[in-house]
Amino acid sequence: MKPIEADSLAQLRQRKSAKWRAFPADVLPLPVAEMDFPISDSIKKVLHDLVERSDLGYLAAVPELPEAFAAFAKRRWNWIVEPEHLHLGTDVGVVIVEILRLLGKPGDRVVITTPVYPAFAYWIKEVHLEVDERPLIEENGNWRLDFEAIEKAFADGAKFFLMSSPHNPLGLIFGKEDLTKLAELAKAYGVVIISDEIHAPLTYTSGKFIPFLNVSDSAREVGITVTSASKSWNLAGLKCGFFYTQSEKLREDLAPLAMGIHHRASITGAFGMVAAFNDSDEWLDSVIARLEINKKLIDELVSGTPLKVSNPHNSYLSWIDFRSTDLGDDPAAVILERAKIAVNSGLAFGEPGKGFVRLNFGTSAEILQSAFSGIKTLL
């Protein structure tokens, strides 16, 4: 598979998206989870066609999308999805917020396993629920779920477990044993598991992604999967996501949401996703091939430095440990100020993020080389 090539820096600087607008022109941006690759031709065509026809109205029923996702899930993960139970919404963030609002009540606790995607905490607080941090355990750069702490949270009455699977920022794939155990615990304590699987299609050839609902009957009883093509096909601005559960009880509880949220997704998002799931496997594989190369490049670029990098099996995020440098608890601030390179501060990802940064490597070798040479001047 031929790895995809990123756009040139000059082209990228013309983009109007958050990654390329959030910083002055003398800063090289590597935060915000957007990739610097051109989107797939089939998605481009669908979007061009909508614009050509001035076809930018409200979203009607789109049976093509659940069908396309079900076919993708079968092809890539051997997971049988029943298309009639998949429901669209604005994006993954809005869908999760609305699930928590509908199923939860103020004060209910939601377990998250930090370091984790910072928006999880905002979403929980937005609907007046409470964040219950149960940090991952780190041993020699390997991270895993702390089942003892999770069970304690469940036993103490937590109502939800919000999971990033695969895990942002670590690119961690949870194995069958862990997911099965989690489902059993959730069932025993009456906890709902919301599995955010937005990064899943970007799993490398070295990893095997397992959809949560595919692990066991207990998982199907307690789980709601929320996902979108937005991360893997770089369509975040199109605004469309969806949720799916196989539990009769949760389907009934979520019925008002399924009715209400559909019209808050966009026609470009829905049909862009159809093209992503139906006609963009080759593009996806070329992105994965590039990410695997970039991951190795980062290993080479940090070798001989005090930096330690994560070992992702998925997506385009590198979690970098600066704790043996003298850049302090928030190295991202120093890197921005002194090297004019923007990365995410680990502090935003929860308590274990102190002394870490997250760097987005969905870009070209040139940009990565220039970012690391800037960072290395500070060490």
Which residues contact ligand PLP by CB under 6 A? 33, 91-93, 117, 164, 168, 196, 198, 228, 230-231, 236, 241
CB burial of residue 39 (10 Å; 0-12, 13-18, 19+): middle
> What gap in Å lies between CA 121 and CA 116, rounded to an integer?
9
Q: How far is the CB of 156 from ligand PLP (least distance, A)?
A: 25
> What gap in Å lies between CA 259 and CA 102, rounded to an integer?
13
Q: How far is the CB of 35 from ligand PLP (least distance, A)?
A: 11
> What gap in Å lies between CA 182 and CA 111, rounded to an integer?
12
> What gap in Å lies between CA 127 and CA 115, rounded to an integer?
21
SS3 348: helix
Residue number, 33 or 375, with CB nearest to ligand PLP: 33
Q: How far is the CB of 356 from ligand PLP (least distance, A)?
A: 16
Residue located via tokens 């941090």:
133
Q: How far is the CB of 96 from ligand PLP (least distance, A)?
A: 8
Ordered alpha helix ranges (H), the chain: 9-12, 18-21, 41-52, 64-77, 92-103, 119-126, 147-155, 176-189, 217-222, 248-261, 267-279, 281-302, 331-334, 365-376
> What gap in Å lies between CA 88 and CA 62, rounded to an integer?
9
Single-letter amino acid code for the residue at 208: K
Q: How far is the CB of 240 from ligand PLP (least distance, A)?
A: 8
Residue number, 93 or 201, with CB nearest to ligand PLP: 93
Task: Cis check for the bond before 115: say yes or no (omega within 30 of 0).
Answer: yes
Q: Which long-range contacts (CB under 8 A, 24 or more apart) does 133-142 make?
A: 133/350, 133/351, 135/350, 135/351, 135/352, 136/167, 136/170, 136/352, 138/352, 141/308, 141/310, 141/311, 141/321, 142/311
User: Do 243 and 215 form a contact (C-beta atoms < 8 A)?
Assistant: no
